[in-house]
């Protein structure tokens, strides 16, 4: 989370799962632009000459169109759908932004590299729209798979990890995603975290430094197939993360996590900035079903998932009436 990477250098261990942001762009022969979100139930009509005011309705789409000058030729229809809700902590908004950059890249035949796609998605989301957040989500969604990502002052380095099928299968069998029952706005959590770093809060700075160290340790455990160690480190990382800001956890999250630990979870953490969304739990293989059942009784929603090796993908479909 800026400004930590620019000053100290940051890193994350990241993997993508089979929860997707989908988009289609259909060129038109006239000057009309139609934007539609299946999830939000919003449909907007413009022309290529429209200002597209940023007013809270599909601003991600409008900002991508503006930044990439997608509306300087013929019109088009954009349709969007995302598997994960906003505020889930699963990086859904950044995945959607990456998908939008991919759509315009394909539409305009832009020669963008994956690094350029991720950087554009970051700039549009964090600078143009001023949405608070870090850098990892855009790079994770663009590149896909298991990555150890380094954030330095002047560049980002994505290191793909060669995770064997045995390790990946065991991870999928032992890991459990659990929706805590509420989404959250991450802005206030991030502002508090940033303010504490700027004020040189010892607990915050110490926890951030430990997060970086633990990311390296977890990467090493993963590459060596030491998954019990990975689970223990996940627990240590969660205890450390909570020290960054008191807003990262709450009584609801603490209750769910404690119940999971009492019935077979070795470790876990909240995804995203915290405050709500999903918990990721690493369980003993023969206790995962018990953990899931106990959390259901608390009103949480366990979810199975699989890892996804691919990042952003675009393709073309030719229809009889128009391109797609």
Question: Does 137 share its domain with 182?
Answer: no
Residue 199 resides in a domain: yes
Structural domain span for residue 91: 17-144
pLDDT tens for each residue of 169-193: 999 999 999 999 876 667 778 888 8
Instruction: Work out the pLDDT band at 65, boundaries 50, 70, 90.
Output: very high
Question: Does 171 share its domain with 298?
Answer: yes
Q: CATH no. for residue 186? A: 3.30.70.890
Sheet containing strand 42-47, strands side by side: 21-27, 76-82, 32-37, 42-47
Which among 88, 114, 144 is the end of a domain? Answer: 144
pLDDT of residue 323: 45
Comparing C-alpha atoms, which of 12, 4, 196, 179 is closest to residue 88? 179
Question: Does 181 share its domain with 261?
Answer: yes
Judged against a pLDDT cut of 50, whether residue 6 lies above it is answered with: yes
Is position 137 annotated as part of the catalytic site?
yes
Residue 7 resides in a domain: no
**Catalytic residue from among 45, 137, 228, 254:** 137
pLDDT of residue 273: 78
What percentage of the chain has pLDDT greater than the value 70? Answer: 97
Worst-scoring range by mean pLDDT, 35-39, 59-63, 75-79, 316-320? 316-320
Question: Does 270 share its domain with 195?
Answer: yes
Cis omega (within 30 of 0) for bond into 254: no
Residue 134 resides in a domain: yes
Higher-confidence position of 19 and 73: 19
pLDDT of residue 45: 96
Q: CATH no. for residue 123? A: 3.30.230.10
Residue 140 resides in a domain: yes
Burial 203-213 (b: 16+ CB within 10 A, else e): ebbebbebbbe
* Tokens found for residue 300: 């949480």
Residue 322 resides in a domain: no
Judged against a pLDDT cut of 60, whether residue 322 lies above it is answered with: no
Domain count, the chain: 2
Question: Does 213 share its domain with 256?
Answer: yes
Residue 109 resides in a domain: yes
Cα angle 87-134-199, degrees, rounded to a multiple of 5: 110
pLDDT of residue 324: 43
Question: Does 23 share its domain with 119?
Answer: yes
Mean pLDDT of 156-181: 95
pLDDT tens for each residue of 213-258: 999 999 999 999 999 999 999 999 999 999 998 889 999 999 999 9
Question: Does 105 share its domain with 205?
Answer: no
pLDDT of residue 184: 60
pLDDT of residue 116: 97
Residue 53 resides in a domain: yes
Comparing C-alpha atoms, which of 12, 78, 91 is closest to residue 43? 78
* Strand, helix or coil for residue 208: helix
- Rounded-to-5 percentages of helix, strand, coil across the chain: 40, 20, 40
Question: Does 119 share its domain with 171?
Answer: no
Instruction: Work out the pLDDT band at 84, boundaries 50, 70, 90.
Output: confident
Question: Does 171 share its domain with 294?
Answer: yes
Question: Does 66 share its domain with 184?
Answer: no
Residue 153 resides in a domain: no
Question: Does 77 share its domain with 139?
Answer: yes
Question: Does 101 share its domain with 229?
Answer: no
């Amino acid at each position: 989370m800026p400004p930590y990477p620019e000053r100290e250098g940051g890193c994350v261990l990241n993997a993508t799962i089979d929860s997707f942001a989908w988009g289609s762009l259909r060129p038109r022969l006239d000057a009309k632009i139609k934007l539609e979100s299946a999830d939000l139930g919003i449909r907007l009509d413009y022309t290529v000459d429209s200002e597209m005011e940023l007013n809270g309705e599909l601003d991600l789409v409008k900002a991508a169109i503006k930044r990439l000058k997608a509306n300087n030729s013929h019109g088009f229809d954009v349709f969007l759908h995302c598997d994960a809700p906003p505020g889930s902590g699963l990086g859904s908004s950044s995945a959607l932004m990456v998908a939008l950059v991919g759509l315009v890249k394909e539409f305009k035949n832009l020669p963008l590299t994956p690094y350029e796609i991720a950087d554009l998605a970051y700039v549009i989301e964090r600078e143009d729209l001023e949405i608070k957040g870090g850098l990892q989500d855009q790079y994770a969604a663009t590149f896909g798979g298991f990555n150890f990502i380094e954030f330095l002052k002047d560049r980002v380095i994505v290191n793909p990890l060669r995770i064997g099928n045995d390790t990946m299968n065991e991870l999928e069998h032992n890991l459990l995603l659990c929706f805590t029952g509420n989404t959250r706005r991450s802005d206030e959590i991030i502002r508090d975290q940033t303010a504490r770093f700027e004020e040189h809060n010892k607990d915050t700075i110490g926890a951030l430094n430990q997060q970086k160290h633990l990311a390296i340790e977890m990467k090493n455990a993963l590459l060596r197939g030491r998954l019990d160690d990975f689970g223990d480190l996940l627990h240590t990382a969660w205890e450390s993360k909570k020290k960054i800001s008191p807003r990262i956890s709450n009584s609801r999250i603490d209750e769910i996590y404690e119940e999971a630990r009492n019935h077979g979870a070795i470790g876990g953490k909240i995804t995203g900035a915290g405050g709500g969304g999903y918990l990721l739990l690493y369980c003993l293989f023969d206790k995962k079903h018990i953990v899931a059942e106990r959390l259901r009784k608390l009103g949480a929603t366990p979810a199975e998932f699989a890892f996804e090796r691919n990042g952003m993908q675009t393709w073309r479909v030719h229809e009889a009436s128009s391109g797609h």
